[in-house]
A = this chain, B = another copy of it.
């Protein structure tokens, strides 16, 4: 999904909900899609303000649910009392996160077997899965030796 596709999706979602397309909401959208890495609400605020300095923290927090609800943004909670966000380039993919406990980077890894797990739970327990998350906290072997995580390229790794 391109940024332009996402923008249309977001505007359509707003319209469908009877919500207004304001400069602030668009600035927040643009700020989100200008990020390369996972970002926090506070970082999103800073980037949105660089685009439109009238954006307030409250509006960022009020807009995030709409971005997530429209499917253009994904929320990632890694258990740090702080949520991370990421443009959702493929909303149908099942992804796991690998969190480097040394450098705090978050890697997204395609994990299609998660759907299998969901349906297994479903059939065995009489549950209807809504969402799943699989996260691995790990030490980065190359970090200690090389001083940097060399796994940035692993983002699209499939397991």
Most chain B CB within a 10 A radius of its CB, from A111, A126, A132: A126
Q: Which among A26-34, A54-62, A114-122 touches the partner chain?
A: A114-122
Given contacts A79-B77, A81-B81, whether A138 and B122 have CB atoms under 8 Å apart is yes
B contact residues around A81 at 8 Å (CB): 81
Out of B118, B124, B126, B142, name the residue touching A142 (CB < 8 Å): B126
- Compute how far the CA of A137 lies from the CA of B129 in the bound complex, rounded to whole angstroms: 6
Interface size range on A against B: 35 or more
Q: For the complex, is A15 an interface residue (Cβ under 8 Å from B)?
A: no
Q: For the complex, is A136 an interface residue (Cβ under 8 Å from B)?
A: yes
Q: Which residue of B lies closest to A139 (CB)?
A: B128
Oligomer: number of copies: 2
List A93-117 residues whose CB lies under 8 Å from chain B.
96, 98, 100-101, 107, 109, 111, 117
Q: Are B157 and A128 touching (Cβ within 8 A)?
A: no
Q: For the complex, is A140 an interface residue (Cβ under 8 Å from B)?
A: yes
| A143 shortest CB reach to chain B, Å | 10
Q: Are B136 and A132 touching (Cβ within 8 A)?
A: yes
Given contacts A101-B130, A136-B129, whether A124 and B79 have CB atoms under 8 Å apart is no
Binding site for B on A (CB under 8 A): 77, 79, 81, 96, 98, 100-101, 107, 109, 111, 117-118, 120-122, 124-142, 150-151, 154, 157, 159
